[in-house]
Structure 1
Amino acid sequence: MAIARLLREQTVGETRWLALDSGDRPAALYLERASNIAVLGARLEGRIGKTEPGAGGTFITLSGTMSAFLRTRSGQIRTVSDAPIPSEGAEVTVEVVAEARAGKLARVKLVAPGAGPATSGADAWRVHLRGAGTAPVEDVSPGDTIVSAAFEDALRPEVTLPGGGEMHIERTRALTAADIDSAGRALKGSAGARALSLNREAAGELARQMLLRGLGGLVVLDCVSPIAGDGGAKIRAAFAEAWNELTSRQSKALAPSALGLMEVAADWWITPLAERMLDAAGAPTPETVALEGLRQLEKAAQQARMARLTLALPQMAHDWVAASRLDAQALLSAKYGARLSIGVHGKAGFELFPTP
């Protein structure tokens, strides 16, 4: 099912996007934050850094302390016209083709002089979603329940399958593993028929979850046995069908191996959602806590249009606001007047309360 509509929730510091398919099911997510500059499709100025033939490319020094990686052919850096460019230190314009992720820099390509206008962030994300180019964009209020539920679900390791049972998704350094659990699923037919039905459903759901969670690279689905006859081909086809209905991005899926493992390889394109919002221990980062507090403050301000409200943030979240380039107080005042304020307290989470 192609993308039928897009929900956009704009709040101070971030914009959340949710793509819904024609069955109104969440199909893809994207998070724009003011703190992220090297977003998909962004055009940035930089300088050629050190070339690493063994790594297949060269480093690009961007503004400040940011760096990116440029893949090259045979260790040679070339422009779109295939002409070699100046060596280390040369000024270049690059375009982000894959956002940064854990242990990996943003990947870029060179932009030729006179190239057309850039398409970045959510617009570049939408380009690869089937139907998203013509789907209507609906602006929703801060704290929208549909958008909130989709983001919360995409951060959980477990996924409830439509026909019952669960799939557990865990990302490791080398790959993302998905495991199927049939508990709670109505079991009918032979063992082979039951396994095939469950595996096909999980394979299709895996395609959707990769887009919701921003996953790429190697993904392995541990299928339920037995897999007999052409069952493996049908499981692979279920993934490919779901993937191709939702996105034009490239992927390759193999039929399950003799050990029941279906391997999928897909290009990385955006930073995984969990990396954007959670720390290494799986807890919300100070930035996420601060922006969620601001999001809930805006929700409360719209529901009580005359109320004076204070957002109390944990110290680390408050420190993030102070250190960021986000002038949250000024942005809130511009939208709601002088009735909202931001403070700090010693608790773990944020709190909203009426201003005395």
Structure 2
Amino acid sequence: MSERRLYLDAGVGETRGVVTLDGKPERLLIRRDEEDLRLALGARLVGRARRVDAAIGAAFIDLGDGAEAMLPFKPAERPVEGSVLEVEIRSEARHAKLAVVRLVGEGQGAPRLLDPPPPLRDQLAALVRNARIVDGADARRMADAAQAEALQTLHALPGGGVLAIEPTRALTALDIDLGDRKGADAKRVTRQVNLVAIAEAARLLRLKGLGGLVVIDLVGRGHDGAALLAAARLAFAPDNPGVALGPISRFGTLELTIPRRAPPLHDSLCGAHGGLADRALAQALIRRLEAEARANPGARLVARASPDIADAARPLAMKLAAVVGARFTIVPDAKLARERFEVAAS
């Protein structure tokens, strides 16, 4: 029987929540201090129907202060342009896409936030009932491991084989490779690796925050479609409601759609160049400084980082000083690569 555990890493400038499945990260929730909570999953707001487009069955909702979301509607439920509505964020904004809201009812007054989204602790508790939430050093280690795995492309499969996960603009493509998986019966080996890969694919897609159209390129030929579809229904059950599975195609692919609720982690952690964004690297630097400060009480610390990362870390450094004291300095060093920092105690 599967076991899920919960971890909450409350850091300086950022809180991370992790759900593990049988000891492996399954979900990673990140909330930063500067995040606009009006557009976070579960927030309730008053908005105004700025424009109603019957051709696409959606209304564009003005949420105030420049924020906007999309409200899909059925023909019989078409809102009136200019009407004031109460809505709830059901899918967060992602790259080049607006947040999606659901209609709660009629609203009153100016566009504004009514109720913020639940804190991460409550979100974790809702995902796994009656589970103890682990915090402290264990939570930080698990959150770091979850973040590292979420950003990988190639994932080793238990027992051998490799699963590659690559999102594109149109869909997320997954490729299963036997790798060095051993076995004399080729058909049995390919069936086994496909079943393992489907279970891992479901976990990893949840971890990465990927949804929409997903295509899994299965390994081998002559697939047992019924067994693979049964395995997929079980593996992707936690993503319901809204998961839809297609039959195994004659090309050996399994296609499915998964509801999009939160943006992919890659969008918030990585920059346009594909590597970690300055904000994510600055957060890693602050975590490193915090760990050194706790390990060396009273010592003065000097951190060196590339100029861009040192600059991005300044707002976080002010918050860290309130926690460990103003006994550290962050020095810009143009000789250091973006991903590298040095912290020393004196």
Structure 1 residues 131-210: aligned runs within 5 Å? 132-141=128-137, 144-189=140-185, 191-210=186-205
Give the letter for the 1:348 counterpart: A
- 2:118 corresponds to which residue? 120
1:250 has 2:245 as partner? no
8 Å contact kept, 2:40–2:117: no
Distance 1:287 1:101, change over 3 A: same
8 Å contact kept, 1:155–1:213: yes
- 1:194 deviates by 1.7
- 1:343 deviates by 4.1
- 1:176 deviates by 0.3
- 1:9 deviates by 1.0
TM-score, with length taken from structure 2: 0.87
- 1:18 deviates by 1.2
Q: Partners in 2 of 1:342 and 1:53 — Cα distance? A: 54
8 Å contact kept, 1:214–1:271: yes
- 2:23 corresponds to which residue? 24
- 2:70 corresponds to which residue? 69
- 1:269 deviates by 0.6
Greater Cα shift, 311-320 or 277-286: 311-320
TM-score, with length taken from structure 1: 0.85
- 1:277 deviates by 0.4
- 1:36 deviates by 2.5
Give the letter for the 1:209 counterpart: L
Give the letter for the 1:34 counterpart: D
Distance 1:247 1:265, change over 3 A: closer
1:169-194 C-alpha deviation (Å, 9 max, x unpaired): 000111000001111211232x3222
Aligned length: 336
1:289-342 C-alpha deviation (Å, 9 max, x unpaired): 1111112111221222222223344333344456xxxx4233212211221344
Helix, strand or coil at the partner of 2:165: strand
8 Å contact kept, 2:239–2:259: no
Distance 1:123 1:44, change over 3 A: farther
- 1:87 corresponds to which residue? 81
- 1:227 deviates by 2.3
Report the RMSD for the aligned CA atoms in angstroms.
2.6
- 1:41 corresponds to which residue? 42
8 Å contact kept, 2:59–2:70: yes
8 Å contact kept, 1:128–1:248: no
Helix, strand or coil at the partner of 1:54: coil
- 1:25 deviates by 2.3
Q: Partners in 1 of 2:308 and 2:84 — Cα distance? A: 38
- 1:195 deviates by 1.5
Distance 1:198 1:2, change over 3 A: closer
8 Å contact kept, 1:57–1:75: no
Q: Partners in 2 of 1:257 and 1:62 — Cα distance? A: 43
8 Å contact kept, 1:101–1:275: yes
Structure 1 residues 279-298: aligned runs within 5 Å? 279-298=271-290
- 1:332 corresponds to which residue? 320
Distance 1:256 1:127, change over 3 A: farther
8 Å contact kept, 1:294–1:311: no
Give the letter for the 2:10 counterpart: Q
Distance 1:223 1:334, change over 3 A: same
Where structure 1 has 5 or more consecutive residues not aligned to the other structure, the ranges are 79-85
Give the letter for the 1:202 counterpart: A
- 1:76 deviates by 4.8
Identity %: 31
1:269 has 2:261 as partner? yes
- 2:111 corresponds to which residue? none
Relative contact order, CA 8 A, sep 6+: which one is greater?
Answer: 1
8 Å contact kept, 2:50–2:60: yes
1:12 has 2:12 as partner? yes
Q: Partners in 1 of 2:61 and 2:55 — Cα distance? A: 16
Give the letter for the 1:345 counterpart: D
- Counterpart among 206, 219, 226 of residue 221 in structure 2: 226
